[in-house]
Amino acid sequence: MAYLDNISVFVRVVELGGLSAAGRDMRLSPAVASNRIKELEKHLGVRLFNRTTRQLVPTEQGTVFYEGAKKILAAVDEAEAAIAALSGQPRGVIRVMAPLGLGRRMIASGIPSFHDQYPEIEVRLRLSDREVDMMKEGIDVAFRLGVLEDSSLRMRGIADCERVLAASPGYIERRGMPEKPEDLVEASHDCLLLRFPGAREYFWTLQTPEGPQKYQVAGPFDTDDGDVLTSWAIEGRGIINKPRFEIEGFLRDGRLKVVLPENPPVPVKLAALYPHKKYQDPKLRLLVDFMAERCQRMIGEALAGR
């Protein structure tokens, strides 16, 4: 089993680019992770990494071994999943990714209850509004909220979510209420953007009588945290583009007002994405089913004002 553990550490070091990151991911100290790699190199009789000032880069032998190691771990995962299905006792680790706001309110808050029901399943949660390469970073399931494109991943749809544009009464009083989508550009309104390296939301797609239209928008503030955008909008700093359930409470109490109600943004889908090979894993299906029911219920309650 020690050899398999060493292989697991090696794969995560390759995927995450360093001992510290891999150690954090696997709950190991950098020293322990380093020793695992040294043991593996000694067993194989080759050097697996070249060390740079910033990261570990696989050698030619390391790259070849990585491809084979992934297949070994995948085969072990499949075998364990098959045993779990027969025994009725799912166990093991699930690595989960979710957006910051939704992840904090719906996913993270549900993990203790999930663990109470399935104490042998260990959930490791990462929160980020950035899109990540699930295969590269070893994520088993990602909950995403957006316009989802075709991919090699399997998708479990959870909810179709209405989006709205919204701003504070103070902003509207100061800058005026946009009357048509073009006003967002022509009147130089401040649009608050979710933006990070590689982000695509440099425009908003709004619904019009002619169909969905893209509008290039801009503003003095952007961030990679959707909750920060909501806070700025409440402070009167600009207009946000948000799923309605996330800000329904602020719309109801008057801190925000809907902008361009006749031209809302295109809806988005909340979905769970996971690699095809994970579909038969009982513990993954249990988690996705649990979180799907929880998210559907919480979204309904938010829109109903409960």
Owning domain of residue 156: 89-160+268-306
Percent of the chain residues topping a pLDDT of 70: 92
Please check whether residues 21 and 58 belong to one and the same domain: yes
Please check whether residues 146 and 180 belong to one and the same domain: no
95: three-class secondary structure by DSSP: strand
Please check whether residues 40 and 109 belong to one and the same domain: no
- Domain finish residue from 66, 87, 108: 87
Q: Which residue has the higher pLDDT, 204 or 279?
A: 204
H/E stretch holding 43? helix 30-44
Q: Which of 7-11, 96-100, 122-126, 262-266 has the lowest mean pLDDT?
A: 7-11
| DSSP-assigned states of every residue in 176-236 | ----STTHHHHTT--B-EE--TT---SEEEE--TTS-EEEE---S-EES-HHHHHHHHHTT
Render pLDDT for 109-143 as a digit per residue (tens, 0 to 9).
999 999 999 998 999 998 887 777 787 777 889 99
Q: Which of 118-132, 191-205, 270-284, 285-299 has the lowest mean pLDDT?
A: 191-205
Q: How many CA atoms lie within 13 A of 9 on its CB side?
A: 27
Q: What is the mean pLDDT of the chain?
A: 86
Give, in order, the Cα–Cα distances in Å from 114 to each of 10, 110, 139, 219, 224: 30, 6, 18, 41, 29
Average pLDDT value for residue range 140-148? 84
249: three-class secondary structure by DSSP: helix
Cα–Cα distance, 261 to 33 (Å, whole number): 54
At 100 the pLDDT is 87
Instruction: Report the predicted TM-score, pTM, of the whole model to 2 decimal places.
Output: 0.74
At 112 the pLDDT is 95
Number of domains the chain is built from: 3
What CATH number does the domain containing 304 carry? 3.40.190.10
At 20 the pLDDT is 82
Please check whether residues 275 and 146 belong to one and the same domain: yes
Q: Which residue has the higher pLDDT, 92 or 110?
A: 110
pLDDT tier, 199 (very low <50, low <70, confident <90, very high otherwise): low
Cα–Cα distance, 155 to 275 (Å, whole number): 9
Q: How long is the chain?
A: 306
